[in-house]
């Protein structure tokens, strides 16, 4: 019996095996029969339709590399599989359990078919190939549906969180500024108001970092709004802000002429703020940091330097990765208070989105220098 005919004839037996496996998953122990079989019959019938649909050599090659085919059978299979993946998120299955569900389905179908088909025929190899291709395609689309739903949920959660946090943060910030302006003659109150203001700004930056991380996702380009700007002017503004916020430290600024270009000003501010914050964080209480910006033909080069404790060599290869930050003590990464380890990652993503590069050098003798090279004219990678 051909495998496609076998699946249709033994649908209930196959679904029973699917149900048994789904119930063995922790999330499945609380599900009823209908939920356990969620879209399983649709997937199997779509699999049969896909297996029995004629396909060209090109279509077969596309399916062999995970690209699926354009036939009606494949489209039905994709639809049922993606919906199933989304459904399993809501049922509490993790991604490994979703994949295992497909492995169990594949194994049970082949075992049942083999038990009733003791004399293999030449066409069996073709049937098995088509079956594996269809199941692989179904699994791929189920994973796409699963991960897509998770990503959308994460972005929605963070967007709601950021929206709900910003209003009270703005109220706290405004109140602290009012206290600072009205508490004349009381240095302790003024100092407390300044600390509140600094802490609120730190929280607001973390919220922004979370939204940037959620909005782009690892490997996605940072959205930009490039426009003509004067980089020297931005650097002077940041120099004043950081020097005022760190009165016990020294930040020297050196710029050359002709530092105009087409960049996203708010994003470039974000890069410099993250790099300068990093320099002050690791430079000690009396940090001496330097910000140098020079013209280099069609590019500008920004360098942020500090003489603090050098970055351990084993951390340099991963310094720009998300959620990796700071020194290692006893093999565990240490993260400073008020940081979630996204600053350098976001700086890199902004620079790459501008078509630039960012590098770091760190030694005990020469200190730590982050160097950013930006084309004067915004150019997205690959553009």
pLDDT at 138 over 60: yes
Give, rounded to a whole angstrom, the gap between the first and last alpha carbons of the chain.
54
Task: Work out the average pLDDT over 105-115.
Answer: 85
The per-residue pLDDT for range 166-179, each reduced to its tens digit, is 767 877 888 887 88
d(CA 149, CA 137): 18
Looking at the chain, the whole-number percentage of residues with pLDDT higher than 70 is 79
Could you give the residue ranges of the DSSP H alpha helices within the chain?
Answer: 3-9, 11-24, 33-36, 40-51, 57-64, 72-91, 95-115, 122-182, 187-216, 231-245, 265-282, 343-353
Asked if 313 and 275 count as a contact pair (C-beta separation under 8 A), the reply is: no
Report residue 346 CA to chain centroid gap.
11
User: CATH for 3-153?
Assistant: 1.10.490
* Domains of the chain by residue range: 3-153, 155-216, 227-375
Which distant-in-sequence residues (6+ apart) come within 8 Å of 166 by Cβ?
Answer: 204, 207
pLDDT at 227: 93
The per-residue pLDDT for range 51-89, each reduced to its tens digit, is 888 777 676 666 655 555 555 556 777 888 888 888 888
Asked if 271 and 234 count as a contact pair (C-beta separation under 8 A), the reply is: no
pLDDT classification of 135: cutoffs 50, 70, 90:
confident
pLDDT at 106: 87
d(CA 80, CA 69): 15
Provide the total of helices (H) and of strands (E) in the chain, helices listed first: 12, 9
CATH architecture, range 227-375: 2-Layer Sandwich (3.30)
pLDDT classification of 217: cutoffs 50, 70, 90:
low
Which backbone phi and psi does 229 adopt, to 5 degrees? Answer: -155, 160
More confident residue, 274 or 157: 274
Provide the mean pLDDT of the chain: 80
Identical fold at 3-153 and 227-375?
no
pLDDT at 216: 61
The per-residue pLDDT for range 227-237, each reduced to its tens digit, is 999 999 999 98
pLDDT at 287 over 80: no
Least confident residue range of 86-90, 154-158, 224-228? 154-158
Asked if 210 and 158 count as a contact pair (C-beta separation under 8 A), the reply is: yes
Task: Work out the average pLDDT over 276-305.
Answer: 86
pLDDT at 229: 93
d(CA 154, CA 10): 40
The alpha carbon torsion through 64, 65, 68, 73 (nearest 10 deg) reads 10
């Amino acid at each position: 019996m051909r495998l496609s005919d076998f699946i249709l004839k033994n649908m209930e037996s196959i679904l029973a095996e699917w149900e048994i496996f789904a119930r063995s998953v922790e999330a499945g122990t609380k599900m009823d029969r209908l939920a356990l079989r969620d879209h399983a019959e649709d997937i199997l019938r779509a699999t049969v339709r896909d297996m029995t649909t004629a396909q060209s050599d090109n279509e077969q090659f596309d399916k062999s590399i995970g690209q699926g085919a354009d036939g009606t059978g494949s489209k039905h299979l994709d639809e049922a599989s993606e919906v199933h993946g989304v459904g399993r998120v809501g049922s509490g299955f993790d991604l490994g359990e979703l994949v295992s569900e497909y492995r169990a389905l594949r194994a049970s179908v082949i075992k049942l078919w083999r038990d009733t088909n003791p004399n293999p025929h030449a066409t069996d190899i073709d049937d098995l190939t088509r079956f594996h291709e269809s199941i692989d395609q179904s699994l791929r689309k189920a994973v796409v549906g699963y991960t897509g739903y998770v990503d959308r949920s994460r972005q929605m959660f963070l967007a709601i969180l950021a929206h709900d946090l910003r209003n009270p943060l703005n109220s706290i910030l405004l109140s602290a500024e009012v206290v600072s302006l009205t508490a004349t003659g009381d240095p302790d109150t003024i100092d407390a108001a300044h600390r509140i203001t600094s802490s609120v700004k730190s929280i607001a930056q973390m919220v922004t970092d979370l939204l940037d991380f959620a909005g782009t996702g690892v490997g996605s380009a940072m959205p930009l709004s490039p426009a003509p700007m004067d980089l020297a002017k931005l650097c002077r503004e940041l120099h004043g802000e950081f020097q005022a916020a760190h009165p016990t430290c020294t930040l020297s600024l050196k710029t050359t002429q002709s530092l105009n270009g087409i960049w996203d000003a708010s994003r470039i501010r974000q890069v410099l703020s993250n790099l300068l914050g990093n320099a002050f964080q690791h430079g000690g209480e009396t940090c001496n940091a330097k910000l140098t910006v020079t013209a280099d033909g069609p590019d500008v080069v920004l360098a942020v330097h500090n003489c603090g404790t050098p970055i351990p060599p084993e951390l340099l290869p991963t310094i720009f990765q998300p959620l990796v930050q700071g020194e290692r003590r006893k093999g565990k990464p240490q993260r400073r208070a008020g940081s979630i380890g996204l600053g350098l990652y976001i700086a890199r993503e902004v620079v790459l989105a501008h078509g630039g590069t960012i590098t770091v050098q760190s030694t005990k003798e020469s200190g730590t220098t982050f160097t950013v090279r930006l084309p004067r004219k915004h150019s997205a990678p690959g553009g």
